Amino acid sequence: MGKKAEAPGQISARLLDEVEQLRTSLESALEENARLMEDRDRLSRRVTQLSQDLQAARSAPPPAPPALPSVEQGQAEEELRVAFEELQVLTEELEVANSSLQQANHELDGRVEERTRQIQEINDTLRATENSLRTIADLVPDLLWRSDATGHANWFNQRWCDYTGWDKEELKEEGWTNALHPLDRASSLAAWAQAMAAGTVYQEQHRIRDAQGDYRWFLIRAEPMRDANGTILAWFAAATDMHEQRTAMEALQRSELRFRTLIEGMPQLVWRAVDSGQWTWSSPQWSAFTGQSEKASRSLGWLEMLHPDDRDHAMAAWTRAQQTGSLEIEGRIFNAQDRRYRHFRTRGVPVRSSESSLLEWLGTSTDVDDIVQLQAHQEVLVGELQHRTRNLMAVVQSVTARTLKGSHSLDHFAQCIGDRFDALARVQGLLSRRKGGLRVTFDALLREELSAHVPLDADGRGEHVTLTGPAGISLKSATVQTLALALHELATNAVKYGALSQPAGRLEVRWDIRRPAPGECRLFVDWRERGVSELPAPGAEPKGGGYGRELIERALPYQLNAQTSYAVETDGVHCTIDVRVPSEDSEGGGR
């Protein structure tokens, strides 16, 4: 592989280092050359001095001091010869040094020229690169800026100026902070100071004001530039416009919050799933109802909360849902609070992408246990209504036939049948007004019938009537109609012919509960009329046709297995009825 290319800064540093080395070498050569020249000058001065001394010695006159001995003269000549030789050697060395110096100067000039050319090329490249970077910085959509190591801004790209409407001088130092939203400024500057102190990356989101005075959200990220020793030299930062993403995310979060609030406020149990019933999420209502955590309900964990008999049915419904595109399950889900299973109707629909591919399933489970119980109760009521209707029709048929038989005219028949139908209607009204499965009570039935003939107060007392007995004695539904007709006949006869038809007459009705055997509960009614005059003679035809007496003496024992008595005593009618009623601890009994 080729040698890794050097960066322009590295090349420039290397060239400057080489120039410094050449300068040092040149200075050393110049110092050596100067030393050689000093030695040559010193030897030259010595040779000159010796030459002058020798010449003076040879040319001195005779009367002068005696000449030097021949030995001294020879030494001087030898010393002069040696000096000349040294001078010659120094001269040769100096010539060599000058030649080397000239060659070094020539090489240095060439290398300096070459290095100067390379530095010029690098500077041109750096200027071109800087211009390119400046152009790129102005073209990018981000807001770019640079600060020194202390955090003071000293450069901004053109987009910063175009966005804020300020020039670069206004933005430098701390001026750019004035463009921050007042609500974001303190937190952003505190985070900026913390990043500078720690030398870590700075990343924040805040709003920046544009030239029109509007604010937009930006993601700001700044990183430090370090030298070889790790010292921070500057900070470079970029602000990316994320206003649309931020507002869209906030809108999505608000929508999700509304959706979650809606989901958690629903009475249904809400869930999400993928194919084959693999749950991925369940609402808090599921956990609150079943006691199973959301994590435990994932995958097929929710099946544990279904009744064991409904689990296979539920999985079969999921299998069908893959083909039909809809899910419907009827099953029982465990209720942790009541410790029992309740009926739920579960429905799910697929969520598809724009390409119609299945993403997931969304569904709800609705508590229909009350509806199921009501439907079951309705079936019982319908059955009871049908039974009662058949009984009523039989009673109507029997009453009609018996009334027709005992009527001596059509008008008499119409009056009698109307009164008896009114009595049946009152009974049906009592039956229909029952709430929560409560039975009709005897005291209510008695007051209802007597009130149709004579006025009674809230306690059941009237001018000629006294009612005495415990309240709330329940009657079987099958007993009410026949017993009501018997009371109606007694009351009608009393109003027409008996105690309630005469000023001195008096009606007393007493009742209580008797228990002749364990588990057996019977109602005993004592109907007694007093102060009645003009009673029919013994063996005479009873007034009113005798239907009431026949009903009491024959129909009640036959239909209700009752024990009855009916007698016309010296001052009025005396009737007793002994009939079985539900015990107090029964939960409804039969019809």
Tens digits of per-residue pLDDT, 427-455? 666 566 555 556 788 888 888 888 887 88
Round to whole Å and give the CA distance between 187 and 306: 53
Q: What is the mean pLDDT of the chain?
A: 79
Query: pLDDT tens across 27-37, in order?
Result: 777 777 777 77
In the sheet where 506-514 sits, what is the strand order?
Answer: 465-468, 506-514, 522-530, 572-580, 563-569
- Tell me the HSE value of 316 on the side-chain side, using a 13 A CA sphere: 7
Residues in the chain: 591
DSSP 6-21: PPHHHHHHHHHHHHHH
pLDDT score for 496: 83
3-class secondary-structure state, position 388:
helix
DSSP 97-122: HHHHHHHHHHHHHHHHHHHHHHHHHH
Reported as type and span, the H/E element at residue 467 is strand 465-468
DSSP assignment letter at 460: S
Cβ neighbour number for residue 202 with a 10 Å cutoff:
20
The low-confidence residues of the chain, meaning pLDDT below 70, are 1-13, 15, 19, 40, 43, 47, 50-51, 53-73, 76, 80, 87, 90, 94, 104, 126-140, 173, 381, 383-399, 401-408, 412, 415-417, 419-424, 426-438, 460, 536-546, 584-591
pTM greater than 0.85: no
Round to whole Å and give the CA distance between 325 and 556: 63
Long-range contact list for 242-249, CB < 8 A, 24+ apart?
242/205, 242/217, 242/218, 243/216, 243/217, 243/218, 246/205, 246/217, 247/217
Cβ neighbour number for residue 468 with a 10 Å cutoff:
12
pLDDT score for 587: 40
Q: What's the angle, vertex CA 61, arms to CA 59 and CA 62, rounded to 5?
A: 125
pLDDT score for 504: 86
Q: Could you give the dihedral angle defined by the CA atoms of residues 139, 141, 142 and 144, in that order, rounded to the nearest 10 degrees?
A: 20
Tokens 């609402």 sit at which residue?
A: 283
- Alpha carbon 423 to its chain centroid, in Å, reads 63
Token pair in block for residue 579:
């009939």
Among candidates 240, 183, 251, 187, which has minimal Cα distance to 217?
A: 240
Tokens 């010659």 sit at which residue?
A: 88
Query: Can you point out the beta strands (E) in 275-410?
Result: 278-282, 327-335, 340-352, 358-367
pLDDT score for 435: 54
Token pair in block for residue 303:
């099946």
